Amino acid sequence: MTDPAYDYDLFVIGAGSGGVRASRIAAGYGARVAVAEEYRVGGTCVIRGCVPKKLLVYGSHFAEELQDAANYGWTVEKMTFDWPTLRDAVAKDVDRLNAAYTNTLNSNKVEHFLDRATITGPNSVRLASGREITAKHILVAVGAWPVMPEFEGSEHCITSNEVFHLESLPRRVVIAGAGYIALEFAGIFNALGSHVTVVNRSETILRSYDASLRDRLLQITMARGIEYKFNCGIERVEQHEEGCLMVHMKGQPDPLPADAVLVATGRRPKTDGLGLENAGIELGAHGEIVVDELGQTTCPSIFAVGDVTNRVQLTPVAIREGHAFADRVFGGKDTRVSYDCIPSAVFSQPPLASVGLTEAQAREKLGSNVKIFTSDFRPMKNIFGHRPERGLYKLVVDAQTDKVLGVHLIGPEAPEVLQAAAIAVKAGLTKADFDATVALHPSMAEELVLMR
């Protein structure tokens, strides 16, 4: 398998979820593998994304849980919150995960360089330290990076990269964007006591999700105190001497005062300065690396996986792509990645989760041959909390075949419920199969099999 003409059989640029998985599997097949990572091992998800953000979500939930505790007989005195304690605990866990991912590379005999690597040719890279390295195959797995739009005062704003390191909890937060990152942080700061205003260029939040879930989330978050400014964007941000930021918006006469301005308007593949032109690698309209169905670029010896390809920007997808790449190239297996029925979730408050076709997508595809089943209920968890918030579960069904085409949920623990439901959708089960399943009572998940 190894080729003595090269320093390595595989050189991976980027030690995130996709790159680490590809490295580990390729090394397991006997390949000589090296990885270069310019910052920390683990990538966006582990270091500055899903994992630390989910820990902040958990931390913010205690505001609600502690308030509810009295209704369950608990006495909680002197309830206070200390942002540095939560921030530092999250940072400590990020350190743990960085060490764990590094150990994974070490235990699988993958050499790793904490250095930036750029491509110098079809089979060569150069480290920032100056070392030249050759490899039979190169895998680019550098992920994506937050987009910071150009406007006056943008240097006073932060992105999802910096939000984990705030010195103190901001009293007033303005968030630009209404995608999943924006709304997750809106929920976190709102629960922790900050006044949150979401500024969005359109009038739609979470564009890719079912309209019923979007509408329900908007209603609930507004009732919780999150304010929205639709059809406007940030025009400029001014910093006053006392540290206050004034956010001026297009079409809005009055600026918004803020202590922090979080820009969450999208992520762009991190391809700048990688030297891709040295190997004739084609880029797409958004700077993404163009690949075929097997992850191969326009240079036959170079492949790409994960967010840098801008196909599906989800960690589990990057992991599957990296694994499949190693299986094919080094394991002799024709492993493919299915992009059909990929589940996703937004850890907003409350969270929502979806898999398969939305109602609008199904009607566009099947016309009138669509049946919709819903359960609009008050979760038992909310009863003692005196919150009127209602959960909503929705099934999208093919009226001719009875096949469940989509499942869409909003309510407490919706992502946990959705993972199992995604298996059913992926397997092609019918509404009759759902109906034939005995309910697990009392649970929110039982609503999936009780819709008639």
Span of 190-194, 250-254, 375-379, 406-410 with lowest mean pLDDT: 250-254
Q: Are 128 and 69 in contact (CB under 8 A)?
A: no
| CATH architecture assignment, domain 8-146+268-331 | 3-Layer(bba) Sandwich (3.50)
Angle at 44 between CA 309 and CA 104, to 5 degrees: 100
**Domains of the chain by residue range:** 8-146+268-331, 154-265, 350-449
Can 154-265 and 350-449 be said to share one CATH topology? no
What's the rounded mean pLDDT across residues 410-438? 97
* Strand-pair category, 404-410 with 227-229: unpaired
CB atoms closer than 10 angstroms to residue 172: 18
The CATH topology of domain 350-449 is: Enolase-like; domain 1 (3.30.390)
**What DSSP state is assigned to residue 158?**
B
* CA-to-CA dists, residue 25 to 22, 213, 331, 446, 452, angstroms: 5, 39, 9, 39, 46
State the pLDDT at residue 1: 59
State the pLDDT at residue 241: 76
What's the rounded mean pLDDT across residues 189-204? 97
Please give the radius of gyration of the chain, using alpha carbons only, rounded to the nearest integer. Answer: 24
The percentage of the chain sitting over the pLDDT mark of 70, rounded to a whole number, equals 100
CB atoms closer than 10 angstroms to residue 280: 12
Long-range contacts of 19-22 (CB under 8 A, 24+ apart): 19/43, 19/139, 19/141, 19/305, 19/306, 19/322, 20/101, 20/104, 20/105, 20/322, 21/318, 21/319, 21/322, 21/323, 21/326, 22/139, 22/141, 22/305, 22/322, 22/323, 22/325, 22/326
Query: pLDDT tens for residues 282-322?
Result: 999 999 999 999 999 999 999 999 999 999 999 999 999 99
| CATH architecture assignment, domain 154-265 | 3-Layer(bba) Sandwich (3.50)
What are the residue numbers of the active site? 441
Answer whether residue 424 shows pLDDT above 80.
yes
386 — pLDDT class (breaks 50, 70, 90): confident
Q: Give the predicted TM-score (pTM) of the model.
A: 0.95
